[in-house]
Structure 1
Amino acid sequence: MRVVIVGCGRVGATLAAQLATEGHDIRLVDRRPTAHKLLPVGFPGTFHVGNAFARPVLETAGIGGADAFVAATSADNTNIVSARTAKETYRVPIVLARLHDPRRADIYQDLGIPAVSSVRWAVSRIHQMLLHRHLTPELAFGNGETLLVRSEIPDYLAGRPLTAFDVDGEIRVVEITRAGRSLLPAHGVAAEPGDLVTFAVAATALGRLRGFLDKELGT
């Protein structure tokens, strides 16, 4: 996956290093030439100097072929403009942004751009959202160790008891929305096509939950 990250501060550099070790193609943009010093020695990605919202800079960084874009600078205005450019001009499939001032959250929401805050939580949450994009995070607890995520049940899992998805200490079905009505699943209730299920899941178990659903999602 090619990921363009603007802002090589603590969040951007840490996220870039983590994704790079997992084999992703990482392109970093920062207006400070010395910002690359935060990257680990031997970082395999590329580093580009320039403004995060300058189209020539973004194009040099490869935004035209990007699978994801992360705005992680220290300025909300820059993050908003660059994220909007990535989403609306270059049609990048996944666009995420860091949020510093909670009062600006409505701006991101109106633009349809998920936003996250705080350094430690931001790195963890952005990483999860990039790699587990078919699972929609609804709520996070602590520093993101436990999440509530929602997903439509694939047709091939219809008929299985909802308790079959439970994994002790990792995954628990806590709610189901069926035909527009929310239900707390009773013991023995089976999944039906079109069910929207809410899972409480450990962040470390997102891959396992995704494995239950990937066959139908085709990813």
Structure 2
Amino acid sequence: MKAIIMGCGRVGATLAHQLCTDGHDVCVLDRDPDARELLPAGFTGEFLVGNGYNRGLLEQAGIGTADAFIAVTSGDNTNIVGARIAKDDYLVPQVIARIYDPRRADIYRDLGIPTVASVRWTVTRINQLLRHRHVNPEVTFGNGETLLVREVLPAWLAGRPLLDLEVDHQIRVVAVTRGGHSFLPTGDSLAQPGDAVSFAVAATALDRLRSFLGKELGS
């Protein structure tokens, strides 16, 4: 995965180091050249100086082929501008932004940009979003311990009870949208092709949900 990180504070530097350690191609952008000192001596990624929403700098960083763009500067306005440019102009598949003012969360959600907030779980949460980029949370609750995820069920689950997708204390089927209409499933509701299912998921259970959607249950 090629990831561009805008902002080399504690969060950006820690995330950059983790991604590089995992073998990913990482480029960090920061307008302060001294921010590079936060990166470990063995950092194998790239560091560029400048505003992360400058198109020339973004193209130098390789945004045209980036798989992910993570905006984690110290300013909400800077993060939202950078995230929007990455998402809308360069069509980066996975865009994540950090926010300090939770009242701005609705703005990001309307733009389809997942957000992270609390300092103590920011890096872990971003890593979860990157690793599970094919299972995209629409809403987070609390400090991100619980997520609302909406996914179209794969064809092979047709005919299976929707309750088969539930796991106590980990995954709950909240609602189903079928043919443009939404309903709350009952114990005997069966999955049909094209069902869009909303799940309430513990953040620690994203791997399990992805396994449900990625292969037939019981196989």
Q: TM-score range by the shorter chain?
A: 0.7 to 0.9
Match for residue 73 of structure 2? Answer: 73
Task: Quote the offset at 1:7 in angstroms.
Answer: 0.1
Match for residue 62 of structure 2? Answer: 62
3-state secondary structure, aligned to 1:143:
coil
Give CA-to-partner distance per residue, 1:29-88, whole Å, 9 cap, x none.
111222123233422322222221222322222212211111111122322332232233
| Kept after mapping to 2: 8 A contact 1:134/1:151 | no
User: How many angstroms apart in 2 are the aligned matches of 1:212 and 1:138?
Assistant: 18
Match for residue 164 of structure 1? Answer: 164
Match for residue 147 of structure 2? Answer: 147
What amino acid maps onto 1:195 in structure 2?
A: D
| Kept after mapping to 1: 8 A contact 2:109/2:139 | no
User: How many angstroms apart in 2 are the aligned matches of 1:107 and 1:203?
Assistant: 22
Match for residue 198 of structure 2? Answer: 198
Number of residue pairs matched by the alignment: 216
What amino acid maps onto 1:31 in structure 2?
A: R
Match for residue 119 of structure 1? Answer: 119
Which shifted more, 8-17 or 150-159?
8-17
Relative to structure 1, the CA distance from residue 116 to residue 44 in structure 2 (aligned partners, 3 Å threshold; closer, same or farther) is same
The answer to whether the aligner puts 1:100 opposite 2:108 as a matched pair is no
Give CA-to-partner distance per residue, 1:148-198, whole Å, 9 cap, x none.
211111111101111222234432323322333333322232111121212
Match for residue 11 of structure 2? Answer: 11
Task: Quote the offset at 1:102 in angstroms.
Answer: 4.1
Relative to structure 1, the CA distance from residue 138 to residue 86 in structure 2 (aligned partners, 3 Å threshold; closer, same or farther) is closer
3-state secondary structure, aligned to 1:130:
helix
Match for residue 134 of structure 2? Answer: 134
Task: Quote the offset at 1:18 in angstroms.
Answer: 2.8
The answer to whether the aligner puts 1:186 opposite 2:186 as a matched pair is yes
What amino acid maps onto 2:37 in structure 1?
A: K
Task: Quote the offset at 1:3 in angstroms.
Answer: 0.6
Match for residue 44 of structure 2? Answer: 44
User: How many angstroms apart in 2 are the aligned matches of 1:29 and 1:108?
Assistant: 21
User: How many angstroms apart in 2 are the aligned matches of 1:104 and 1:161?
Assistant: 38
Task: Quote the offset at 1:138 in angstroms.
Answer: 3.3
| Kept after mapping to 1: 8 A contact 2:9/2:35 | yes
Relative to structure 1, the CA distance from residue 122 to residue 67 in structure 2 (aligned partners, 3 Å threshold; closer, same or farther) is same
Which shifted more, 147-156 or 180-189?
180-189
Match for residue 212 of structure 1? Answer: 212
3-state secondary structure, aligned to 2:134:
coil
Task: Quote the offset at 1:110 in angstroms.
Answer: 5.5
User: How many angstroms apart in 2 are the aligned matches of 1:45 and 1:194?
Assistant: 41
- List alignment gaps of at least 5 residues for structure 1: none
If the length of structure 1 is used for normalisation, what is the TM-score?
Answer: 0.84
RMSD of the alignment, in Å? 2.5
